[in-house]
Amino acid sequence: MNSHPWHTHLLTGHWYSHLPAELQNSLLGMARERHLSPGQRLFKRGDPPCGLYAVLEGAVRIGAVSEQGKEALLSVVESPHWFGEICLFDGQARTHDAVGVGPCTLLHLPQTALLAFLQEQPVHWRHLALLMSHKLRLTFINLEHLSVMPAAARLAHRLLLIAEGYGEIESARRVLQLPQEQLASMLSLSRQTTNQILKDLQGQGILHLGYGEIEILDIERLRALTSV
C-alpha cells in the first residue's frame, strides 16, 4: 500500500486511479509539493517545459493575456486534475499561462526526472498519451459546440464539465467557485449574455448564483439543456 500523503487523495481522480500501481509509485517518488499564493504565476506562455503538475488543493487558471490586456481563459482546473503534459511530448514552450486562483497546493513532477523515467520505462508513455488524448477529445467537442450549439446549451455543457472535473471525478461538484466573467471568457460570450443566461437558469430553479460561485441545484435539468 502506498504511504505517500497524497496518494489516497489522487485516487479520487480518474486518470491516476487507473494507472498501474508501479507507475503510481514511480510518479509519487519523483514528485515535489509546490505552493502558490493567490494570483501567483506557475508558468507563462513561452516558458520552457518544467514538467507535469497535479492540483491537490485550490485551483489553477489556464489561459493567456493578449498585448491589449484581454484574457482568453481556457479552463480553471481543480483537484485532482493533472496538467502540463503536452510539453513532455514535444519539448516545446508552454502554450498558455498557469496562475493560482487563491492559495494552491500542487504536486510537481520535474521534466528531467520524468523524461529519464520514461526513457527507462517507455511502456508508460501510453498512460501519458491517454491523459493528453482525453483533453484533446474535450477540445474537439468544445470546438464543435462553439459552432453549432446555442449559447445557453454551451453554458450548461461547460458548467457540467467543470462540475465533473473535466472527466476526472465520479461525483459532480454542486458548488463551483467560478466568477461570471471567467465563465464568459471560457465561452467567448459577453458578460451581459452570460449573466442573463445564468439569471434565467436561476429563475427556473436549476442554479443558484452567489458571489463568485455557482451552485447547481438540478443537475439533470441542466444536463437536459445540452441536448437542445
CATH number, position 215 = 1.10.10.10
pLDDT at 131 over 70: yes
**Does residue 2 lie in a domain region?**
no
Structure-model confidence comparison of residues 64 and 85, the more confident one:
85
Helices (H), 4-69: 7-10, 14-17, 21-30
Determine the Cα–Cα distance for residues 33 and 215; give it in Å rounded to an integer: 30
Cell triple for 73: 481563459
Q: Do 70 and 123 fall within a single domain?
A: yes
The whole-number average pLDDT for the span 126-139 is 93
Of 110, 141, 172, the domain-final residue: 141
Identify the domain containing residue 42 by its residue range. Answer: 7-141
Q: What are phi and psi of 130, to 5 degrees?
A: -65, -35
Task: Please state the pTM of the whole predicted model.
Answer: 0.87
Q: Do 179 and 117 fall within a single domain?
A: no
The whole-number average pLDDT for the span 21-38 is 95
Q: Do 95 and 21 fall within a single domain?
A: yes
> What is the share, in percent, of the chain residues with pLDDT greater than 70?
97
**Does residue 119 lie in a domain region?**
yes
Of 79, 114, 141, the domain-final residue: 141
The whole-number average pLDDT for the span 60-66 is 86
**Does residue 1 lie in a domain region?**
no
Residues near 176 by beta carbon (within 8 Å), at least 6 away in sequence: 159, 162, 163, 213, 214, 215, 216
Q: Do 85 and 13 fall within a single domain?
A: yes
Number of domains the chain is built from: 2
pLDDT at 161 over 80: yes
pLDDT at 1 over 60: no
Cα 209–chain centre separation? 22
Cell triple for 146: 462553439
The whole-number average pLDDT for the span 6-28 is 95
pLDDT at 93 over 60: yes
